[in-house]
Structure 1
Amino acid sequence: MSTATAGAPGRNAEDPSPPSRPGPLGRLGHWTAGHFKQVLLGWLVVVAVLGAFAPQVTSVLSGAGWQSNGSESVKVRELAEKHFGGNASSAIQVVVSSRSHQASDPAVRHVIAEVTEELEADGRIGEVVPPQAGATISRDGRTAIVLGGAAANTDDMVRAAEDLKEPLRKLSTDDVTVRATGASVMWSDFNTANLEAMIRAEILSWPVTLAVLVVAFGSLVAAGLPLLLTMAGLAASVGSLVLISHVTPISIWAMDFALMFALALGIDYALFLVIRYRAALARSGYRQRAVVETMDTAGKAVLLSGLTVLVSLSAVMLVPAPAVRTMAVGIMLSVAFVLAATLTLLPAVLGKLGPNVNKWALPRTRTDRTDSPRFAAWGERLWRQPLRYGVLALAVLIALAVPVLGLKTAMPSIKVVPEDDSSRQGYALVQEHFGEGAPGMLQIAAPDAQVAATVEVLTSAEGIEGVMPARQAADGTGWSLIQATPSVDPSDPALTDTVRTLRADLPADALVGGAAVENLDLKEALDDKAPLVIGVILVLGFVLLLIALQAPLVAALGVITNLLATAAAFGVGRLIFQDGHLSNLLGFEPQGFLDGWGPVFFFAMIFAIAMDYTVFLLSSAKEHYERTGDPRKAVVGALAQSGRVVFAAAAVMVAVFFTFALADPLPPKEMGIVLGVAVLLDAFLIRLVLLPVLLRLTGRAAWWSPAWLRRVLPEVRFSHD
């Protein structure tokens, strides 16, 4: 039976006097606990107003944005959209291929006419270019390409591809195959496959999540509290994304990551506060007083944790890629709303529930204390034998981190799209009938005066298989567009060398673009910004930990161990996705690299999650050190108080992330495994082993701070007087 509040005096009574000297969060908790109806009504209004927009999310969020703003390739695309009938990288290519007839055959011509009619009926399609001999009709004459120019921005062209690809596919006959392909169709297929895979993975993770929640909280009522925070935060954040999308395009991936982080952080924060509230309620017997103590201690840690997550993700905004930025925006919105709900709605609900928070408790569940005897015993063992466990954990982490030195990244190849999707089948037809490099056609924009010199360089360049005649802009703007076929597949690293050579050798005003080059430019921007983003995250993370913990050494230890867990996760990512280990078991074909956005975006996500656990553990350690001045009690007390929270929260996150490993598309699989491994290593090897060992070895020095620094920093205390 539950021993939740056995013997607690006056557990249903109102607190006769307000707690003495509460901090700002304690005062907030005292107010919310005493104004349950107002807080609940306020959140109902927020959720109702913003949540009303949430159902529109899949239709209004964008599917493109995978570009480097201001890059040379984007400039070429914009020129092609304005001056060349939309013959840009975002144009839709429709492949019409006959098994036995020439493109000039009446039956094939009839299908081409139907394709043309379908394209012309869509207002987002600009100039429709029929098949041209020597250019878009294959050498055997049986395959032709109809080009639907882009008359809309890249996001709308992805939506156009979504609307057109199936009607175009239905124009196929027994002899003629019709498939839409090109960058816009590829992104449509890519987003659809990944969205479906992520939704399936999230559905699969729910039973495991619910089971872990019930075990971790020990009662059904308490286990429902994270879901309350998740639903409130998610409805508000998704509705906000819809509203923001009317101002600037937002990637549909932002919604997926918002859901993931809303669930993960809702569980983390609720665990930390509920466990602390139960113990405080059992001691005092008064609801509001228990809420005040909880908010002054665990609430402060949650606030700092949320700020570190937001700061880590804000650094991603330095990357000039709209899709990457808006994914970070989606996560930040979910974190902000879940954090707000945790600091206002949760204490109000806890104050209302009182001892009922322990209702329907599991047998033999102790809900009257925060300390776990098992984790306390583990802390004592680490204190007695720090090197035995610390060296082993460090050796495992270093061994897993070493492979990161050989990590390669690139933008995803066509392999990330399912084999039966239109873009991949059309890609294969183009490659089969027009050449290996034909799907990655280069577009070179040059002033009319430099066309001859540009063509001369292209025809003699290594890595270029064919050059089409230059096309002058019909509006007399003085630009010409030249298309060149590379000799290698668009995902072949050799294409990078070809593009780099062309940019060095072509006339000064000539610009090299095309869908494949946009990917290369995006990867270069990601690589260029990665050191800056990582550096900013590390510095800001250290500053926040320094403010929270008031001690430079322990703040540095927190950041360094986070970095070690991140390196180990990427090392595992390299072994699996680049080298192909476990590829048969996981059911994917390795690309020979990790997707290009991984180092920046995954690093920010991993570091944000790691900081979450770091703040929980070290804030508990600081609280015990403030009370006792004893490093041993700080380490053992932190593990006893926070070890169960870290363990349970990590178990939920690992379960959620690893379900993405079951997805068919490669990007969700990469994300799930890299993030899942990161959480696994960070929670179980670093927070529960290596960091406590480092606190043991550094002793009082870990908590020392020079007098000048104490004068500069704002005073932050975690102990509750």
Structure 2
Amino acid sequence: MTSTDTARDASDSTSERDSPPGLLGRIGGWGTDHRRILFGTWLAAIIVLGAFAPSVFSSLAGAGWQANGSESVQVRDLAQQHFGGNASSAVQVVVHSHTATVTDPSMRAVFDQIGRDLSADARFGEIVAPQPGMTISRDGHTGILIAGANASTDEMVAAVDDHKSELTALSRDGIEVYPTGASALWADFNKANHDAMIKAELFSWPVTLAIMVLAFGSLVAAGLPLLLTVAGLVASAGGLVLLNQITPISVWAMNFAMMFALALGIDYALFIVSRFRDALSKRGDRRRAVIETMDTAGKAVFLSGLTVLVSLSAVLLVPAPAVRTMAVGIMLAVVFVLAATLTLLPTVLGALGPKVNAVALPYAKRQEHRSPVFHRWGTLLHKHPWPFAVVSLGILVLLALPVFGLKVAMPSISVVPQDSAVRQGYALVQEQFGLGAPGALQVVVPQADAAATASAAASSPGIAMVTPPQLARDGSDYALLQAIPSVDPSDPQMGSILDTLRDRVPADALVGGAPAENLDLQAALNDYLPIIVGIILVMGFLLLLVALQAPLIALLGTIVSLLSTGAAFGVAKLIFQDGHGASLLGFTPQGFLDGWGPVFFFAMIFAIAMDYTVFLLATAKEHYEKTGDPHTAQIDGMAHSGRVIFAAAAVMVAVFFSFALADPLPPKEMGIILGVAVLLDAVLIRLILLPVLLRITGHAGWWSPTWLRRALPAITFSHN
């Protein structure tokens, strides 16, 4: 460095020492001075919200997998309103006996008991006994009772949950009873996934604690992120229960929130705690250490959290209640975790002071915030940037190539356990009534067009049978027909069968049913995917631009995050569509990725990738602001953030991969895809490619035109 640079550095340091702390620094200082008030506020919030938290899984909604405003949803609403609730959300109770027939007294007694039980619940509409030629099998040994839907889809899922045990308890004396249909499917589906996610969480906690202890070398320092995450989860669970009183929130919102809040909460706390320990060792004054931590690491955490929220908010565009509320659940959890990280955690650190290193392992006392290992790694990348750039970029591109052959579809019946009542009933209906019987297409049409519609539907390819038109119960001018497909409802041909049927029936006819609802939802997800991807990329770039004041680095940070996301989906295609490693992971591939995966996982993966991007680039910018040397910024940025990124990635991978142990396929997909994404992003991008790009771009990476600097808010990460 020149003498001019040295003088400038000294001047900058003096200015920073004399300048007052920023907003986050002031919040940290205030919390340290008034910790009783802040602790009391958080305790009150946790107690109030925690009172609602235990009911979170029983209170939240179980359905919502639909495209609002679609043709299939219109059909469901009309069928529920005018045909006694004989909609896609109606419950079908399959009763079967190898010896008795539907007309035998023992079978009739079971149907009568089912009818009495369900009639007593106002959520069920008209009870339709088995009908010859329609819901009685040819051999007479199987009958289907239909309990109409007289409530919302969410309430119908809850109704199945409430009655499932008493219905299956009627299975005795050689008679089998299975509730099935879309509402029963979602009831069993939600329970299986909830149980799997709870088991995965319980497995991941001790693994996470072990990684944290190794990273920090102190049991107290390692325990703080976990306690912080618990506080955020309890608050968010209670918040979701309260929010559910205003608008239905999917139970999946809490499932995802639990996993994501644990991973992100630990990430944020790692960054804050490690920086506080470093500041405390240098300054010796806990209050000044808190202020410095919040003025530097606190800003990075805030910007990272903002990026996560912006990424997930784009998902709110999808007109599907379940997808939207999953995003809302994660966003709420992130808000609480972020609030706890920026207020509660610094106050706890200020109260603990040197005790943050209590119950330390022997090596912890020698541990520095500036990692010698990652300093050497940063130096190696600085000396040989191009080989590392080519290799890491080549691996990512190769892994991303399969994504161009990725297929998506809504989950099939195979995602629920084989021993579940809904799956056994589904198989029985297919065996006795045909492959497409569990997924009848419903056609609502004006009565004058009923005959023409029935004729067109019967001649439509892929339709095995059409039931006679059923006139509306309330005297309105509607007729309802059931078109039974010749293929399984999850068969890839179902899409073309539906499209052809809709083209052939009269213009006034509406085609719906459970398979149509899935296909309409998939179409909406596909339509909104490029819009959501575009919004996330633009907003991610703009947030990085505001934070770093460097257009080139902001652009590169966004592009490499997109690259890691593409590689993760390429691996997902190889595993879940092509079946590579399926036997090792214990699942049968469906031949596609679950339909909501690209939209939702893209937002989640990109948010995580930008999380690490902010941590690394904010640290590098801090050192660039201090020295004006891009090479020092690259090496010291790696030295000061590498260990945190590595430890945070290890925790996230452990949390996400624990879901690979789940039996149901959706949490397995989620865990493996997110785990692979974090692994690829941390190893190949944050610890190799992005530092190399900082080395290659040099001063140009941090350059910003004067007009842009004037237009953007002044954000600095350095503190002396």
Q: TM-score, normalised by structure 1?
A: 0.96
> SS of the counterpart of 2:62?
coil
Contact 1:275 1:367 in 2 (8 A): no
Q: What letter corresponds to residue 608 of structure 1 in structure 2? A: A
Counterpart residue number, 1:12: none
Counterpart residue number, 1:159: 158
Counterpart residue number, 1:330: 329
Counterpart residue number, 2:380: 381
Counterpart residue number, 1:276: 275
2:720 corresponds to 1:705: no
Counterpart residue number, 2:560: 561
How far is 1:165 from its partner?
A: 1.9
> SS of the counterpart of 2:364?
coil
Counterpart residue number, 1:54: 53
Query: Which aligned pairs between 1:565-576 and structure 2 lie closer than 5 A?
Result: 565-576=564-575
How far is 1:127 from its partner?
A: 0.4
> SS of the counterpart of 1:52?
helix
Contact 2:98 2:174 in 1 (8 A): yes
> SS of the counterpart of 2:363?
coil
Structure 1, unaligned runs of 5 or more = 1-17
Q: What letter corresponds to residue 239 of structure 1 in structure 2? A: G
How far is 1:369 from its partner?
A: 3.6
How far is 1:123 from its partner?
A: 2.1
Give the whole-Å Cα distance in 2 for the aligned partners of 1:677 and 1:640: 24
Query: Which aligned pairs between 1:681-720 and structure 2 lie closer than 5 A?
Result: 681-720=680-719
Moved more, 221-230 or 301-310: 221-230
> SS of the counterpart of 1:444?
strand
Counterpart residue number, 1:8: none
Counterpart residue number, 2:69: 70
Contact 1:315 1:533 in 2 (8 A): yes
Query: Which aligned pairs between 1:24-63 and structure 2 lie closer than 5 A?
Result: 24-63=23-62
Contact 2:315 2:600 in 1 (8 A): yes
Counterpart residue number, 1:290: 289
Counterpart residue number, 1:612: 611
> SS of the counterpart of 1:334?
helix
Counterpart residue number, 1:452: 451
Give the whole-Å Cα distance in 2 for the aligned partners of 1:578 and 1:495: 18
2:238 corresponds to 1:239: yes
Give the whole-Å Cα distance in 1 for the aligned partners of 2:33 and 2:169: 63
Contact 1:226 1:266 in 2 (8 A): yes
Q: What letter corresponds to residue 105 of structure 2 in structure 1? A: P
Counterpart residue number, 1:87: 86
Counterpart residue number, 2:465: 466
How far is 1:266 from its partner?
A: 1.6
Contact 1:237 1:334 in 2 (8 A): yes
Moved more, 703-712 or 548-557: 703-712
Runs of 4+ residues deviating >2 angstroms: 366-369
Deviations 1:177-202 (A, max 9, x none): 11110000000000000000000001
Give the whole-Å Cα distance in 2 for the aligned partners of 1:120 and 1:426: 21
Counterpart residue number, 1:307: 306
2:212 corresponds to 1:213: yes
Deviations 1:467-517 (A, max 9, x none): 001111121221111111010100011110011112122111111000111
Contact 1:410 1:523 in 2 (8 A): yes
Contact 1:19 1:292 in 2 (8 A): no
Give the whole-Å Cα distance in 2 for the aligned partners of 1:680 and 1:292: 32
Give the whole-Å Cα distance in 1 for the aligned partners of 2:477 and 2:425: 34
Give the whole-Å Cα distance in 2 for the aligned partners of 1:246 and 1:370: 46
How far is 1:28 from its partner?
A: 1.2
Counting aligned pairs with the same residue, the percent is 65
Alpha carbons of structure 1 residues 352 and 20: separation in structure 2 relative to 1, 3 Å: farther
Q: What letter corresponds to residue 156 of structure 1 in structure 2? A: E
Give the whole-Å Cα distance in 1 for the aligned partners of 2:314 and 2:578: 30
Q: What letter corresponds to residue 154 of structure 1 in structure 2? A: T
Counterpart residue number, 2:421: 422
Give the whole-Å Cα distance in 2 for the aligned partners of 1:251 and 1:359: 42
> SS of the counterpart of 1:364?
helix
Contact 1:488 1:495 in 2 (8 A): yes
Give the whole-Å Cα distance in 2 for the aligned partners of 1:589 and 1:554: 43
Counterpart residue number, 2:488: 489
How far is 1:449 from its partner?
A: 1.8
How far is 1:228 from its partner?
A: 2.2
Counterpart residue number, 1:263: 262
How far is 1:367 from its partner?
A: 6.6
Query: Which aligned pairs between 1:133-212 and structure 2 lie closer than 5 A?
Result: 133-212=132-211
Give the whole-Å Cα distance in 2 for the aligned partners of 1:661 and 1:24: 41
How far is 1:366 from its partner?
A: 4.0
Q: What letter corresponds to residue 69 of structure 1 in structure 2? A: N
Contact 1:496 1:520 in 2 (8 A): yes
Give the whole-Å Cα distance in 1 for the aligned partners of 2:23 and 2:245: 37
Deviations 1:47-80 (A, max 9, x none): 1111111111122101101111111101111111
How far is 1:19 from its partner?
A: 7.1
Give the whole-Å Cα distance in 2 for the aligned partners of 1:586 and 1:118: 41
Give the whole-Å Cα distance in 2 for the aligned partners of 1:394 and 1:59: 46
Q: What letter corresponds to residue 252 of structure 1 in structure 2? A: V
How far is 1:368 from its partner?
A: 6.9
Query: Which aligned pairs between 1:343-422 and structure 2 lie closer than 5 A?
Result: 343-366=342-365, 369-422=368-421
> SS of the counterpart of 2:362?
coil
Q: What letter corresponds to residue 310 of structure 1 in structure 2? A: L
Q: What letter corresponds to residue 638 of structure 2 in structure 1? A: L
2:575 corresponds to 1:592: no
Deviations 1:280-300 (A, max 9, x none): 111111111111111111111
Contact 2:218 2:359 in 1 (8 A): yes
Give the whole-Å Cα distance in 2 for the aligned partners of 1:467 and 1:639: 67
Counterpart residue number, 1:499: 498
Deviations 1:233-262 (A, max 9, x none): 111111010001011111111111111122
What is the alpha-carbon root mean square deviation over aligned residues?
A: 1.1
Contact 1:281 1:287 in 2 (8 A): yes
Counterpart residue number, 2:438: 439
Alpha carbons of structure 1 residues 367 and 709: separation in structure 2 relative to 1, 3 Å: farther
Give the whole-Å Cα distance in 2 for the aligned partners of 1:369 and 1:582: 41
Alpha carbons of structure 1 residues 368 and 585: separation in structure 2 relative to 1, 3 Å: closer
Contact 1:617 1:639 in 2 (8 A): yes
2:683 corresponds to 1:669: no
Give the whole-Å Cα distance in 2 for the aligned partners of 1:513 and 1:33: 60
How far is 1:412 from its partner?
A: 0.2
How far is 1:326 from its partner?
A: 0.6
Structure 2, unaligned runs of 5 or more = 1-16
Q: What letter corresponds to residue 421 of structure 2 in structure 1? A: S
Counterpart residue number, 1:7: none
Give the whole-Å Cα distance in 2 for the aligned partners of 1:141 and 1:48: 58
> SS of the counterpart of 2:85?
coil
How far is 1:613 from its partner?
A: 0.5
Deviations 1:134-157 (A, max 9, x none): 111112221110001111110110
> SS of the counterpart of 1:126?
strand
Contact 2:457 2:504 in 1 (8 A): no
> SS of the counterpart of 1:95?
strand
Query: Which aligned pairs between 1:98-113 and structure 2 lie closer than 5 A?
Result: 98-113=97-112
Contact 1:62 1:252 in 2 (8 A): yes
Give the whole-Å Cα distance in 1 for the aligned partners of 2:694 and 2:569: 26
Give the whole-Å Cα distance in 1 for the aligned partners of 2:523 and 2:62: 21
Give the whole-Å Cα distance in 1 for the aligned partners of 2:501 and 2:239: 44
> SS of the counterpart of 1:224?
helix
Give the whole-Å Cα distance in 1 for the aligned partners of 2:424 and 2:396: 42
How far is 1:106 from its partner?
A: 2.0
